Amino acid sequence: MLRDPDLHVGAPRSRIDGVAKVTGEARYAAEHRAPDLAHGIVVSGAIARGRITSIDSSAALAVPGVIQVFTHENRRSTAWLDYNYQDEVAPPGSPFRPLYDAEIHFSGQPVALVVAEDYDAAAYAASLVRITYEAAEHATSLEAQAYKSYVPPKKRSGIKPPSPPRGDAPGAFTASPVMIEADYTHAVEHHNPMEPHASTVIWEGDGKLTVHDKTQGPQNSHSYVVAVFGLKADDVQVKNAYVGGAFGLGLRPHYQLFLAVMAALELKRSVRVVLTRDQMFTLSYRPHSLQTVKLGADRNGKLNAVIHAAVSGTSRFEDYQEDIVNWSGFLYQCDNAAFSYELAKLDTYTPSDMRAPGAATGMFAVEIAMDELAAETGTDPVELRLRNYADKDENQDKPFTSKELRACYAQAAERFGWSRRNPEPRATTEGRELVGWGMASGIWEAFMQKASARARLAADGTLEVATATSDIGTGTYTILAQIGADALGLRMEQVSVKIGDSSLPTSPIEGGSWTAASNGSAVMVACTAVREELFRKARGLDGSPLANVPPERVVFRGGRIAVADDPSRSVAISEVMRAAGLEVIEREETAQQDPATTKRYASYTHSAIFAEVKVDEDLGVVRVTRVVVAVAAGKIINPKTARSQILGGVVMGIGMALHEETMADHNLGRFMNHNLAEYHVPANADIHDIEVIFVEEHDDKISPIGVKGLGEIGIVGTAAAVANAIFHATGKRVRSLPITLDKLL
Ligand code: MOS
């Protein structure tokens, strides 16, 4: 089908914020200025659990330029109830309160904030704060705490608890001719966005604050600040116009926001607090998990039983939960299934969502187990998955809104050249390297959340769309401009996008891969309302060329409203506005999924990912030389930014497979490799060919614009595909991530 060259939705478009970003015009949270700006440096605690017995700030206060040292002894009073500290995505429990009292809950806990006229004075003074502690026994090892695991008494909102069992999974498992049973683990990972967490609080006078916060949700930070400090909602505005990556770390407000606002209110001046890279490792992380997967099957690999159990770490004060185990129950058809998911308390900060939380970790285990089943039954891994293909969500007993996973397998396999694969492990070599090909499936939930947007069309034919979401590097600015431009037949340059500001129309945080579906639909609905109003005015003009034309017969194209099958009958938007005496047409609308859809259907994005590795067995070095991934995510608004999302997800998946691991010294109860030299993320040299295919998928239920979202799906399954390729290359089955060279030698 030929594309209409005037349309933007569906066409690859460069980021409209790209120039601002590469020229440095785009300011991030730590780059905003104020004439009276003071600088705060966080003093991090030295023990994992216990109490502060004394704090001596005298030497710090004597440093020239130091304004104040805030501790739990002199901080201003804040809200009392947990409720006030609980943000939009807080798990059940008591959120951590910075500088609240003498108690220490985790290593690196902020224990003081030194504020000075300049950064260097604050940093030097921070090194002079003398703190003594009384240490208590701590526990930071999940392996050591797992025996005390528990079912979280309160479920986290938005997270599905383990599905109830169906059939008789234990019985079916033991009766199966083929049984796969193994344990899987993966490391703690830290998000490590390039932009560190930072808040610049501008004191506007009279107790009014403008807060530039590193966050995925300006309204989430706004309500946190208002509730915690008991401020008037109108006195606080939170902005995050540009965000340098987040991956979930920006979903919840972090302690630098609290500290910067506290200091600004106390000092009645502007304050900036920026975390150092090592302090970034005192924030949330992807919790590691201990998983067991059991697959029972017949000799052809048809599943009889799926049993998936996981124990995951959380803090002592909050029950962070994610969905690790449910995926295995509906990705494949199986009559007998059982799931369990428990938590273990650790003396660490609360973990948080990190790109495809739960799915990235649960699917790594299931998809390696499926590869083990393929090897055991002598079935091709793709064929095995087709044999067990699920046509409905058996956990919830619901049909899918759409599912083009079969096409994902077919197109990615074809592109990869999978049919040429010699199934025998260790059979393929190239020079001194073993070559392996592996594959896996990916899945992620497709959400649409309620969101509002405003569209404002001016008489000069320019359009502004606004909604309080964020662009965390995903391309939100650009796709909202594309949607707005098409709705009113404008050029991209005629559309401006306002996001990253708590005062804009209500929006959820940017997360869960739901922004394109949710805010995109909201912009669409608001623009449609403007369009209808414009059309009414156009039709009512004296001698209107559109008189008596029904709305479904007109198109908005090139700044004009025209009769679709008779383009000679048209009128310019600017002419309509002028004739109607209108400066602007403005509409605010809310988009929301039909509740019947959520009730009746299940909706997911899917992928099939194929990886080639080359392994130097003498050195244990693995290179991922080729990846082909096919993704079915409904309508793709912008193939260029969409591809970037998948590339980023795959790169992060390769990091999960081979590099990323936060290691703790359990004697100290502290993460030790808290820097980018020792916490390895893939570098350019680690990344080779990655090819992304978007499979055509029509979904008229998930969202009004047919979008499912794709920020997370790229990471899901990637680590398993790499691990399976390593097995194919070497014959060695590694079930713990990352697969570092010591595990291969
Ligand atoms: Mo995502 S882990 O909801 O940013």
251 lines ligand 1 (CB under 6 A): yes
Q: Mean pLDDT over all residues of the chain?
A: 97
Please count the residues of the chain: 745
Spatial distance between the Cα atoms of 649 and 51, rounded to a whole number of angstroms? 41
Residue 24 has pLDDT above 70, yes or no: yes
| Helix/strand/coil (H/E/C) assignment for every residue in 293-316 | EEEEECCCCCEEEEEEEEEEEEEC
Q: Please report which confidence band the pLDDT of residue 1 belongs to, taking 50, 70 and 90 as the band edges.
A: very low
Nearest C-alpha neighbor of 347 from the set 99, 109, 147: 109
Expressed in angstroms and rounded, the spacing between residue 294 Cα and the centre of ligand 1 is 29
Question: Which of 159, 712, 713, 716 to mutate to test ligand 1, by most ligand atoms within 8 A of the CB atom?
Answer: 712
Question: Which of 87, 190, 324, 353 to mutate to test ligand 1, by most ligand atoms within 8 A of the CB atom?
Answer: 353
Expressed in angstroms and rounded, the spacing between residue 355 Cα and the centre of ligand 1 is 5
Task: Specify the CATH superfamily of domain 32-137+194-246+250-280.
Answer: Aldehyde oxidase/xanthine dehydrogenase, a/b hammerhead (3.90.1170.50)
Note whether 732 and 740 are within 8 A (CB): no
Expressed in angstroms and rounded, the spacing between residue 354 Cα and the centre of ligand 1 is 6
Expressed in angstroms and rounded, the spacing between residue 632 Cα and the centre of ligand 1 is 19
642 lines ligand 1 (CB under 6 A): no
Nearest C-alpha neighbor of 254 from the set 155, 129, 349: 349
Residue type, 190: H
Residue 2 has pLDDT above 80, yes or no: no
189 lines ligand 1 (CB under 6 A): no
Q: Where along the chain do its domains lie?
A: 32-137+194-246+250-280, 148-189+285-447+599-744, 449-592
DSSP, collapsed to helix, strand or coil, labels residue 671 as strand
Residue type, 414: E
Average pLDDT score over residue span 304-318: 98
243 lines ligand 1 (CB under 6 A): no
Helix (H) or strand (E) holding 538: helix 515-540
Per-residue pLDDT tens over the stretch 243-290: 999 999 999 999 999 999 999 999 999 999 999 999 999 999 999 999
Note whether 295 and 184 are within 8 A (CB): no
Query: pLDDT > 90: what percent of the chain?
Result: 97
Residues 6+ positions from 142 with CB-CB distance below 8 Å: 287, 288, 289, 290, 311, 312, 313, 344, 346
Per-residue pLDDT tens over the stretch 134-154: 999 999 999 999 999 999 999
449-592 matches 148-189+285-447+599-744 in CATH topology:
yes
Computed on alpha carbons and rounded to an integer, the radius of gyration of the chain in Å comes to 27
Peptide bond into 738 cis (omega under 30): yes
191 lines ligand 1 (CB under 6 A): no
The encoded tokens of residue 585 equal 């047409």
Closest atom, ligand 1, to C-alpha of 248: 4
User: Following DSSP, what letter does each residue of 72-103 receive, concatenated?
Assistant: TTTPPP---SHHHH--TTPPSB----TT-SSE
716 lines ligand 1 (CB under 6 A): no
Per-residue pLDDT tens over the stretch 499-518: 999 999 999 999 999 999 99
Beta strands 604-616 and 584-591: pairing type? unpaired
Other residues' Cβ atoms within 10 Å of the Cβ of residue 599: 8
pLDDT for position 571: 95
511 lines ligand 1 (CB under 6 A): yes
354 lines ligand 1 (CB under 6 A): yes
pLDDT for position 3: 57
Expressed in angstroms and rounded, the spacing between residue 187 Cα and the centre of ligand 1 is 19
Closest atom, ligand 1, to C-alpha of 353: 2
Helix/strand/coil percent split, the chain, to 5: 30, 30, 45
The encoded tokens of residue 273 equal 């607090």
Closest atom, ligand 1, to C-alpha of 512: 3
Average pLDDT score over residue span 425-444: 97
pLDDT for position 530: 98
Spatial distance between the Cα atoms of 659 and 189, rounded to a whole number of angstroms? 10
Residue type, 479: I
8 lines ligand 1 (CB under 6 A): no
Q: Measuring from atom 4 of ligand 1, which residue has the nearest CA?
A: 248
Residue with the two structure tokens 């965390």:
472
User: Following DSSP, what letter does each residue of 154-200 receive, concatenated?
Assistant: SPPTT-PPPPPPBS-HHHHHHT-SEEEEEEEEE-BB----SSPPEEE
Per-residue pLDDT tens over the stretch 603-655: 999 999 999 999 999 999 999 999 999 999 999 999 999 999 999 999 999 99
Residue 132 has pLDDT above 90, yes or no: yes
Give domain 449-592's CATH architecture.
2-Layer Sandwich (3.30)
Sign of CA dihedral 712, 714, 715, 717: positive
263 lines ligand 1 (CB under 6 A): no
Nearest C-alpha neighbor of 313 from the set 349, 283, 360: 349
pLDDT for position 5: 74
pLDDT for position 346: 98
Closest atom, ligand 1, to C-alpha of 511: 3
Note whether 627 and 740 are within 8 A (CB): no
Residue 4 has pLDDT above 80, yes or no: no
Q: Which residues are catalytic?
A: 712
Expressed in angstroms and rounded, the spacing between residue 606 Cα and the centre of ligand 1 is 17
CB burial class (10 A; 0-12, 13-18, 19+) of residue 596?
A: exposed
Average pLDDT score over residue span 416-429: 97
512 lines ligand 1 (CB under 6 A): yes
Could you give the dihedral angle defined by the CA atoms of residues 313, 315, 319 and 325, in that order, rounded to the nearest 10 degrees?
Answer: -10
Sign of CA dihedral 664, 665, 666, 671: negative
How far does the chain reach from its first CA to its final CA, in angstroms? 52
Question: Which of 251, 324, 514, 656 to mutate to test ligand 1, by most ligand atoms within 8 A of the CB atom?
Answer: 251
At the topology level of CATH, where does 148-189+285-447+599-744 sit? Aldehyde Oxidoreductase; domain 4 (3.30.365)
Nearest C-alpha neighbor of 363 from the set 733, 740, 715: 715
The encoded tokens of residue 129 equal 């704060």
